[in-house]
Structure 1
């Protein structure tokens, strides 16, 4: 009797443990997030949060998927991803074009990390008239950046010839002698910086501050998973703390995600500023709405959207950065 009782007790304990383990794994699955982004330097703290175990520490199972910016909204619409990192005006465009997304924290601001490379004989924007520019597809940051720069110089995309090339390909083609100009971003813009014989960088986001990135999530998922969204936000801020505390290790980890050495990565990161909690609170307090209103005009002019979103206030939620 004693033996069979012990057997039953251990069987019961094993069963209970199994049920608890299953419940635990079910709980872990509830906090799984698939996040779409690219190799853009500004997004690297998310790679760091992944590689340094910050997401796991905060109870998240985050899968980062590198998806071209022009396709990220399709992944969001099909529920293949729950959250995405992209530029603020892209969030506006997606919402305007029927793919709702809610921005929950700001990641970075570009300070020269996005730019327009031109051949040596092009001295001004007026000289670009009729010239061929390698730029990513409509609905991407380089396309918007080029439209913004032209607009600020009394021109539009109709004044130039466009050839569709992803940011890395645009930089490589330019250095190889193709096209008159290229609109690209770091780490690929440094390909041009490192090959001055191919041309020069005529304008960057230092001259035209219009590239800033946020992470947004599907509103239905967000409503069901506020704790996971808060943990995602906190993980980003924790990654920034790690960058400050151990820049060498952080740069190595972030660089490895885009096949760069820590030193190469640090160089490209010098052209942007990651945004901490205080900067986020300032940004969401008013700056974001002002920028989105400006961006709407360019997006309409460039034909990226046909009508502006009815209510910009629903395109962001600042409760997660508090």
Structure 2
């Protein structure tokens, strides 16, 4: 190869690199706050496999406690949040408006309460010590379950621990019970430290996760929101076509093998296109009001949230 040819090749490669860099800079960047919950894993898959990039958006995933996500959104550190409907109500009630644009998943066994000794039901939790995350779905779900038994959060002794820490503390012999979710619920099951007395399979439709942005962001960046919604559906398509590979990628993000992740995923139902259209337009509005009422009664919020701007179903139609 002559010197001139080498120089030409180098110049072409240099231009290609500059072009690729320019394309990357042109993609809008979105920082998304979430956790290691199995239901969110397709988002990680969309990032790892380049689905977000192909749809023209650069997504950075930041994992942080539920209680910190709305503060990060209010400060502009994150633009998108994935969490449960009840948690979005908490955010809105505290003065951080959020609009849900996509249903991600429902827990169909992925959340549970583990207990030891003679505790065999939710009713038996009266006066018992319970590890549960405050300000998140574990506390909301516990309040929901207790209400069904004529009890309230004031009837149990609560300690604030993140779901992973609650599971580990329970396995270590602390607390009479712990509220947690997958993949940490499997840690409790495998340990033999206690018995799972109830799971979300017994409360269908109560623990539902959605993707949300602030209303102003959606108005100013509809193409970004559309790209993220499209990427979610494409990630589900990827799982359908490449199950083993997808499970390996998603499992690795939470230190699980593909087989372990498959066990966790069996307790979660991801929402595709048709399910989203139905839930966002028909089911979510009513459930939003019900959850708002439960949280107000349980004193999980100081005042009811204004739910009038909390749903935008246009991106899934």
- Using the size of structure 1 for normalisation, the TM-score is 0.90
Aligned mates of 2:240, 2:152 — CA distance in 1: 41
Q: Which residue of structure 2 aligns with residue 57 of structure 1?
A: 54
Q: Which moved more, 1:282-291 or 1:106-115?
A: 282-291
- Residues 127 and 243 of structure 1: CA distance in aligned 2, closer, same or farther (over 3 Å): same
Q: Which residue of structure 1 aligns with residue 66 of structure 2?
A: 69
User: How far has the Cα of 1:100 moved from its partner?
Assistant: 0.6
Q: Which residue of structure 1 aligns with residue 26 of structure 2?
A: 27
Q: Which residue of structure 2 aligns with residue 46 of structure 1?
A: 43
Q: Which moved more, 1:18-27 or 1:225-234?
A: 18-27
Structure 2: segments with no counterpart, 5+ residues: 1-14
User: How far has the Cα of 1:104 moved from its partner?
Assistant: 0.6
3-state secondary structure, aligned to 1:179: coil
3-state secondary structure, aligned to 1:273: strand
User: How far has the Cα of 1:166 moved from its partner?
Assistant: 0.7
1:313 to 297, 308, 313: 308
User: How far has the Cα of 1:21 moved from its partner?
Assistant: 8.1
2:220 to 210, 217, 224: 224
Question: Is 1:79 aligned to residue 76 of structure 2?
Answer: yes
Aligned mates of 1:123, 1:23 — CA distance in 2: 60
Question: Is 1:204 aligned to residue 203 of structure 2?
Answer: no
Larger Rg: 1
3-state secondary structure, aligned to 2:158: strand
User: How far has the Cα of 1:302 moved from its partner?
Assistant: 2.3
Q: CA RMSD in A?
A: 1.8
Aligned mates of 2:20, 2:278 — CA distance in 1: 43
Aligned mates of 1:247, 1:158 — CA distance in 2: 44
3-state secondary structure, aligned to 1:182: strand
1:274-289 to structure 2, matched below 5 A, reads 274-289=270-285
3-state secondary structure, aligned to 1:39: coil
Q: Deviations over 1:90-137 (max 9, x none)?
A: 111211210011101000010010011111411222321110001112
Question: Is 1:255 aligned to residue 251 of structure 2?
Answer: yes
Q: Which residue of structure 2 aligns with residue 298 of structure 1?
A: 294
Question: Is 1:169 aligned to residue 165 of structure 2?
Answer: yes
User: How far has the Cα of 1:24 moved from its partner?
Assistant: 4.6
Q: Which residue of structure 1 aligns with residue 34 of structure 2?
A: 37
2:123–2:146 contact (8 Å) kept in structure 1: no
Counting matched residue pairs gives: 302
User: How far has the Cα of 1:27 moved from its partner?
Assistant: 2.5
Q: Which moved more, 1:70-79 or 1:88-97?
A: 88-97
Runs of at least 4 residues off by over 4 Å = 16-26
Aligned mates of 1:219, 1:272 — CA distance in 2: 28
1:105 to 90, 102, 106: 102
Q: Which residue of structure 2 aligns with residue 6 of structure 1?
A: none
- Using the size of structure 2 for normalisation, the TM-score is 0.91
User: How far has the Cα of 1:32 moved from its partner?
Assistant: 0.7
- Residues 22 and 181 of structure 1: CA distance in aligned 2, closer, same or farther (over 3 Å): closer
